[in-house]
Structure 1
Amino acid sequence: MSNYLAIATITAVLQRTLQASIQLDVDSARVTTVKPSNLGSGTPETGVNLFLYHVTPNHISSKNHGYAYRESNGQPSKRSQRGLDLYYLLSFYGNEVELEPQRLLGSVVRTLQDYSIINQQMIQDTLADSSFSFLADSDLANQVELIKIEPLDLSLEDLSKVWSVLFQTPYNLSVAYQTSVVLIDGAEPAQKALPVREYRATLVPFMAQPMVEKVVSQAGVYQPILADSSLMIRGQRLKGDVTHVRIGDVVVTPEQVSEKQIVLPLSLVSANELRAGVQRLQVVHQVMTGIPPAPKGRVESNAVAVVVRPTIIQVKVSKIQGSADELRSAEVSIKVNLKIGKGQRVVLLLNERSTNDPVGYMFEQGKRRQEYTNLIKFVISGVKAGEYLARVQVDGAESVLSVDTNPDSRTFNQYISPKIVLRNSRLG
């Protein structure tokens, strides 16, 4: 679910993500969100302009039909929901002699390839940024469906038409991207009942829909959710005759249930069934009373997104090439504690453990998986010799690094593992 601020939140996330990248690649570059025709009134001398120029309905989204609930008169109704695709034009400005527009284009393409999925953490970080305080009430982070960013294959003629028709200004170096799918909830039921002709007092049992407002780790609001975490599910009307929780495709029965809170240890879900990444969570009531006219049946809450982060349990390296000052290539096998689906995007992150100009690398698994697995193989290349901290991202859900808690250690309070070491003859 997401409210009317969803569209603006997507734009803010893109602006913040791109700003963090381009300012490192081109000095003084900044990302703006003004109409391209407004040259000199907000468009940077050096930078990228991000402009939402088109919006279309997403007819494929299964959420377009809304979710069921009951009004105060006991009649079923639906809350409307609309899926949208957003189209952005990114234009590049700067010193043509020093090829700044082209350098910025390369920086943006690389960044949007690395962050091709807008995950919950990116949204939460943006909403916590004081620059976007006007989006504080956005609940886009609760959307279960993935938000993907993909480049559009527009010809020069198509781009020129966009500039000439929409902005009536000369063409600048530009690319277009599509963001899909963004879901917006309606504030009112989709259907309105006919006027009441006669009033009669009748006592009708009410099958109240449970409402999930927030899901966090019991260890703390800002603590990551791992396979051994306990979830704190907060909301309204959470306790039913029989209360279950559905997470992903698994239904479990929590032991601690009250009207406003459920504690659910993820250990109740087997490691073979719990998935890494973004999972849909719902509270499900099994109604046992069956007092007419309220029949026995099942009542489900709204769905919220839960990001379950994997843990690396083994790292192996083979097929190493390179020696002395040469850049290294190798095959890295990462084993995690949770199964990863065939269609999930998995990325390996390497960060050099060095105080002297450390470097970082990202490698996406290129080979398509044929089954659910917790063993992922990456081919890495162009990596300089050194010691690296290793993380994996599964649809944006990032594994956690271990911190040295020994106060007598020279690496106290620093990240220490998991790691790989790239030397002259071996990587381990």
Structure 2
Amino acid sequence: MNDQCSNENKVSNWCVVSMASIPLVMTLGNSMLIPVLPIFEKKVGISSFQTSMIITSYSIASIFLIPVAGYLSDRFGRKIVIIPSLILALIGGLIAGYTSWKFNEPFTWIIIGRVLQGIGAAGAAPIILPLVGDLYKDDDEKTSSCLGIIETSNTFGKVLSPILGALFAAFLWYLPFFSISFFSLISILLVLFFIKAPKQKEEPVELKIFLKKTKEIFTNEGKWIFTVFTIGIFVMYVLFSVLFFLSDILEKTHNLYGVKKGFVLAIPLLALCISSFITGRKIKGDLKLMKKIIMFSLLAIAASVSFVGFASDRLIMLLVVTSFLGLSIGALLPTLDAIITENIEKEERGTISSFYSSSRFIGVAAGPPLMSIFMKNFLNGSFIAAGIIALIVLGMVVIFIKAEEGPQLEEATI
């Protein structure tokens, strides 16, 4: 069995599995807690807003440290950054789980553990995007296909998350925290044994030169880059707002609890996963196709998210609307990954893709706490506002992402 990745466009299946395990584990580390937040609220004796901070604290830590991790991975190597980050995620899960088990008032320690997990997530999952680009070099078709697998692993984690979270919590309410550590350990072993990143042939650039080049990229290509960042923030905000809302409404309105609730939550996420997988296999570095996918997806998001609140009292209609929303978001995610990864030079790829990953975490962090506020007095209005924002972002795509000069990213002006 080939136990390593080569740098000659021959990437072993186990290498791909190992890379895919990282976003899977990091997604489980966050999304698995969403269906059990109402349980945490009761067991720990905290408010709905405080429970939302269990998700947000993880994401805030990631927002600020992902760009740092991206620079370090460009300078010292991807694997050197990934493994210590996964170890931190493991430790964070142990802290959150142990204090929930032994302490009478564990909320502060849970947040500390979640911050450590967020730091771990910052140095693990985002580094996979530039690593894929490194391994496949200039082969856009293979890069897009592998990125589709990576993003599908991420979305598959979202499908598994509500089921596993509810299942673990049915045994012990704090067991999801410990499970995150277990999954992190598996990913650590896979990375150690099966990933061998390409060796750097040149000395890494000095920090001063690196900052200058990064500034030049944002100056010259900033319009399309910031457009992609904005889409990333927006779609993750919508996704985690809707998931937080569903977790609450399925119990309070539809009397669904535990594993049954987890399976229902998984339905729109399964749609997201399938859409992500198919899109990743179809785009193949074709920028014109990518732009069309982004535009149609934003239109579909605008149409579907506006009706989420109105469908909340009818379970079947709610699942239809949120599943359509999941299909739309699923088509967007691998497309955005491919645009960022395939159109940035290797030397700056880690940093730029990390800024993109960081922008996505802004949406993750904002979604649950804002939705906990909106659910009280501004539910339908908040979803309609999200639909309007989707149309505004669509306008940005039309203006700032250009794809007239050729079908491949290397030949296109974005």
- Normalised to the residue count of structure 1, the TM-score between the two structures is 0.26
Structure with more contact order per residue of length (Cα contacts < 8 Å, sep ≥ 6): 2
Structure that is richer in helix per residue: 2
**Higher strand proportion, which one?**
1
Greater C-alpha radius of gyration: 1
